[in-house]
Structure 1
Amino acid sequence: MKLNRMLIVGVIALLCVVNPLFAKGTKDTESAKPAQVQSAEPVKAAPSSDAAAIVPVKPEKPEIVRMSVLNGPSGIGMVPLFEKAPDLNGIPSSFEVSASPQVLLPKLLKGEVDAGILPINVAAKVYTANKQAVLLAAITGNGMLSVISRDTSVKSLADLKGKKLTVAGQGGTPDYMIRYLARSEGIELNTTDGIEIDFSIPTPEIVPALLAGKIDYALVPEPFSTVASIKDKTIARVLDVQKLYEKACGIEGCEYPVMALVVRKAFAEKYPATLELFLQACKESVEAVNADPKAAGALVEKHTLGLKAPIVAASVPRSAFVWQSARESRQNVERLLSVFAEFAPESIGGKLPDDGFYLK
């Protein structure tokens, strides 16, 4: 009995010690609940730098997209856009014609136009000399040079030995191309046993001189060869420079680009989505010209790009209008620019353009 009484007293004493501990723990737990329970109205977290970084930014859009092409063949591929503005998600566009690269370039560098068509070597030179101000977006025209003559006995470059060849444009693609081709075939220029090269006649006057019999052989681009053959059926394309270049290159399908679509770097970086739409429209424009040369000719004459409709319609199939992105065309571009660099480094800015030249 005495033992039982002692046990009871011990249990009561233990409960008196433990109960305050449980009571304290319960009180602390309940007092912590309000900080853990979410209210019906979500609590907004204070903005942090990480949260701000993931907020989607609405793409910027330009007020207008402006393009300029050169008077003559370079603008033919873009002429459908002169007639019908491209769909740029509501962004307007404008298209104009510049008389020469010397007129077009200041507009690009000043931001007065956003895109333009230039000779490939000029595009490379502008990139190097003007802190990468312009980028190559695409090639819109490949080689279209021919040797034309009434002398159909000419079957190779060697057949021009001892003859005078009038070349369209000193310091341009025809000039460096004939030098490259002659060297590749071991033919000397401006020697008694070689080919005499003549730059004395301005390009627009070469065909009239050939028609009048003042010269016998000429190296000209399209559409000059087409003009000559239309006006005198005895004049023929006796040598296709593209085929000669492919042979000299030693690579099947090797092409040389001549017309480059360039864009301002600042525009490309600020408005990539709009630029993508614009370039797609340019691609479709070139495709439309190749698909319907007659319609293209009518538009060229209507929008006064410097050529008559019948000439354009007849020359387009021989003009090598293409659409090759900067990346697709890079090997061909560098191969041709290497030819320029060999004979006149200053014509491309002193060196081949680096990777940044090619729009990604």
Structure 2
Amino acid sequence: MSGSRERTPLLSRRSFVASLPLAVAGLRSRAWAAEPLTIWGPPATPSVIAAQAIASGALASISPSVSFKTWKSPDEMRAGLSSGTMTAVIVPTYAAANLYNRGLAVRLVNVLTDGLLYVVAPGGTVARVADLKGRRVAVPFRNDMPDYIFRRMLADASLTADDMTIDYSGTPIEAVQMLLAGRVDAALLSEPAASVAIVRASLSLKTFERAIDCQTALAVSTGRPVIPQAGLAVTDVFVRRYGEPAIAAVQSAFEQAVQAVTRDPSAAASATAAMLELPRPMIERSIPFSKLVARAASAARSDLVALFDVLARQDPRIIGGRQPDDRFYAI
């Protein structure tokens, strides 16, 4: 009996020591779960998916405090990812590849649109890329995704930027204003800016239209009728805070969200307008033209590779010099 009493403390101490890693892991997990999560995105329709996921509460299992913030320019987005202040960000897919190939711990979770880029022009004035020859065109974000895609479209139509006048703008809304004021003949616009231009023109008794679907135009190069233009990227800081399973949880929440958004654009616009700081009617109008999806990055890989190949033909530095490897595709 006495021997048994002497062994019990030893066994207890051993059990206690053995259980320490699990206890610490549990505490760490709870600490991560308590970390507020901010998802960043552009003032564009793919961000509706993130905002819908937040509004529905589908991300509560990752963090009890989830919010959405808008990045205003590609430079702000890149700076946020590079500094670590942004850990979950909706980005142009090529930008995620570029940062990854340059050594930043950024991985792509999904693709959120199969393309939402259009050339908008007064009705009946433009029908194909070749019709832009000799025209004046507003293009937002010089040396960024819209510009890269536009230049590829021109090349496929045996044109160059020298065959027209390109007026670059700092934002899509600036391009809309240039078009409405008659300072340009056409504008390259993503959604919801394309919808904004068309609606505002109608208020002045003008008829604007989505004259060129850039997804169809770029298919000459990619062989695919889609442009996997934007998706959610996460950093290693995100994984450290919330755990690797959080990536799958976010993807599941986004899959539910995109179904809700496409099923009822009006309700989605009402639920997300305040978060996105965009007019509710513009969000609702843009959703049907935004080709929204929530496709896991690995499932979209062949489309992404095709797009990255096209961009790299212009300049390999656009994607960081090479196709990203397997680890880039987070799920």
TM bucket (normalised to shorter chain) is 0.7 to 0.9
What does 1:1-360 correspond to in 2, within 5 Å?
61=29, 62-63=32-33, 64=35, 66-73=37-44, 74-86=46-58, 88-89=60-61, 91-100=63-72, 101-109=74-82, 111-131=84-104, 133-190=105-162, 194-199=163-168, 202-233=171-202, 234-251=207-224, 254-265=225-236, 267-268=238-239, 271-303=243-275, 305-360=276-331
SS in 1 for 2:299: helix
CA distance in 2, matches of 1:189, 1:259: 25
Instruction: Kindly indicate whether structure 1 or structure 2 has the higher relative contact order, using CA contacts under 8 Å at least 6 residues apart.
Output: 2
C-alpha displacement of 1:295 = 1.5
Deviation string 1:253-303 (CA, Å, 9 cap, x unpaired) is x31111121122354477233332232112212221122111222223222
Q: Which amino acid aligns with 1:313?
A: E
Tell me if the contact between 1:142 and 1:321 (Cα under 8 Å) persists in the aligned partners.
Answer: yes
Tell me if the contact between 1:88 and 1:278 (Cα under 8 Å) persists in the aligned partners.
Answer: no
Q: Label 1:163 to 1:151 Cα distance change in 2 as closer, same or farther (>3 A).
A: farther
CA distance in 2, matches of 1:187, 1:106: 34
Q: Label 1:230 to 1:354 Cα distance change in 2 as closer, same or farther (>3 A).
A: same
SS in 2 for 1:332: helix
* Identity score, percent: 28
Tell me if the contact between 2:111 and 2:231 (Cα under 8 Å) persists in the aligned partners.
Answer: yes
Tell me if the contact between 2:42 and 2:90 (Cα under 8 Å) persists in the aligned partners.
Answer: no
Structure 1, unmatched stretches of 5+, are: 1-44, 46-51
CA distance in 2, matches of 1:271, 1:186: 49
Q: Label 1:156 to 1:87 Cα distance change in 2 as closer, same or farther (>3 A).
A: closer
Q: Label 1:113 to 1:85 Cα distance change in 2 as closer, same or farther (>3 A).
A: farther
CA distance in 1, matches of 2:37, 2:170: 35
CA distance in 2, matches of 1:78, 1:273: 18
Tell me if the contact between 1:69 and 1:117 (Cα under 8 Å) persists in the aligned partners.
Answer: yes
Partner of 1:15: none
Deviation string 1:10-51 (CA, Å, 9 cap, x unpaired) is xxxxxxxxxxxxxxxxxxxxxxxxxxxxxxxxxxx9xxxxxx
Tell me if the contact between 2:138 and 2:179 (Cα under 8 Å) persists in the aligned partners.
Answer: no
Structure 1 vs Structure 2 CA RMSD = 3.1
SS in 2 for 1:97: strand
Q: Label 1:90 to 1:204 Cα distance change in 2 as closer, same or farther (>3 A).
A: closer
C-alpha displacement of 1:56 = 9.2
CA distance in 2, matches of 1:90, 1:243: 38
Partner of 1:14: none
Tell me if the contact between 2:36 and 2:65 (Cα under 8 Å) persists in the aligned partners.
Answer: yes
SS in 1 for 2:101: helix
Which deviates the most, 135-144 or 150-159?
Answer: 150-159
C-alpha displacement of 1:96 = 2.7
| TM-score, with length taken from structure 1 | 0.75
C-alpha displacement of 1:236 = 1.1
Larger CA Rg, structure 1 vs 2: 1
Deviation string 1:230-257 (CA, Å, 9 cap, x unpaired) is 1223111111111112244334xx3111
Partner of 1:37: none
C-alpha displacement of 1:95 = 1.8
Structure 2, unmatched stretches of 5+, are: 1-10, 12-17
